[in-house]
Amino acid sequence: MAKSKMNSFVKRLITTLVLVPIVVGCILAGRTSVSLLAMTAAVLLSWEWANMLKGKSEQFLSLAYLFTAAIAILIPSINVALGVIIFLSILGFACCRKENHCFLRVLGIPYISIGIASIVALYDSYGAGVVLWYMFLVWCVDIGGYLFGTALRGPKLAPKISPNKTWAGLFGGMLLAVVVSMCACHFFGGEKYMANAVILAGILTIIAQIGDLIESAIKRRLQLKDSSNLIPGHGGIFDRIDGLIFAAPFAYGLLKILTVAFS
């Protein structure tokens, strides 16, 4: 058992050391590479979501997931993107209303497109630095949850949904996210934004954890361990960025509110 856990940890570590520099490099390289990265994530998420919910409408819905994500990423008009999302959600419901898990099938349309597009919107509005801050903040939820949860154990956070998650892991992830936010403000000359960054770190940590639990609930409903086996040691891409895409619209909205409030 210990050897199996160690092998899994090594796989996760190697995969992380390979993927994180690629993601960071794409974000620093400019808008074109950010769009390509977002579209790659959208393609993989669309395939995973449709594959988790196999059925007669699988092909149509996988295309609907990808098409709405592409519109949301590539077209700057929010009204156009929302119109497409609503239209295809209604059409998707009409196509799969007699199939099992109809709600989950249709949910993939707004979930993927709004989540991925919100990260791109963060980049367009606030630049690469804020996107990297946001990503590292959400990654802290996983890292802190694993380290503090394993070391301290304690009461379970949501035992019926995700038995391995603990309250210690949640607060550990929150603490780590706050520390990372404070360090980012200090080293990049943003001391005047320190309080806002700390508050946002706490809020977004909780929201990202909710996104993680929602993904766990979906997999439990579908009796799946992982969304796929695309990423060695990590499962699927949905397993890795569930909190990231769930919390992204909230991050964008909260930053907009703070920008207006303090402008």
Contacts of 116 (CB under 8 A, 6+ apart): 38, 41, 42, 45, 69, 72, 73, 245, 248
Q: What is the pLDDT of residue 24?
A: 93
Lowest-confidence pick of 82-86, 209-213, 235-239: 235-239
User: What confidence score (pLDDT) does residue 112 get?
Assistant: 95
Share of the chain above pLDDT 90, in %: 48
Res 135: pLDDT: 93
Q: With b meaning 16 or more CB within 10 Å and e meaning fewer, what string describes 96-112?
A: beeeeebebbbbbbbbb
Q: Are residues 92 and 64 in contact, defined by beta-carbon separation less than 8 angstroms? A: yes
User: Taking 70 as the threshold, does the pLDDT of residue 89 lie above it?
Assistant: yes
Does the pLDDT of residue 41 top 90, yes or no?
yes
Check the CA dihedral 14-227-165-250 and report its sign: positive
For residue 148, what pLDDT is reported?
86
Query: Mean pLDDT, to the nearest integer, of 241-247?
Result: 92
Q: What is the predicted pLDDT for the residue at 262? A: 54
Bigger pLDDT: 11 vs 144: 144
Query: 140: pLDDT confidence band, cut at 50, 70 and 90?
Result: confident
pLDDT of 5 strictly over 60: no
Q: Quote the tokens at residue 255.
A: 């930053």
pLDDT recorded at residue 184: 85
CA–CA dist 164, 179 (Å, integer): 24
Q: What is the pLDDT of residue 1?
A: 46
pLDDT at 263 over 60: no
26 close to 36: Cβ distance less than 8 angstroms: yes
Give the DSSP per-residue string, the chain: -HHHHHHHHHHHHHHHHHHHHHHHHHHHH-HHHHHHHHHHHHHHHHHHHHHHT-STTHHHHHHHHHHHHHHHHH---HHHHHHHHHHHHHHHHHHHTTSTTHHHHHHHHHHHHHHHHHHHHHHHHH-HHHHHHHHHHHHHHHHHHHHHHHHH--SEEETTTEEEEEHHHHHHHHHHHHHHHHHHHHHTT-GGGHHHHHHHHHHHHHHHHHHHHHHHHHHHHTT-SSS-S-BTTTB-HHHHHHHHHHHHHHHHHHHHHHHHHT-
> Highest mean pLDDT range out of 99-103, 149-153, 172-176, 248-252?
248-252
76: left (phi over 0), alpha (psi -120 to 50) or beta: alpha
Which of 76-80, 190-194, 222-226 is predicted with the least confidence, judged by mean pLDDT?
Answer: 190-194
pLDDT of residue 12: 67
Lowest-pLDDT range, 24-28, 54-58, 204-208? 54-58
Average pLDDT along the chain: 87
> Average pLDDT, stretch 77-106?
91
pLDDT at 151: 83
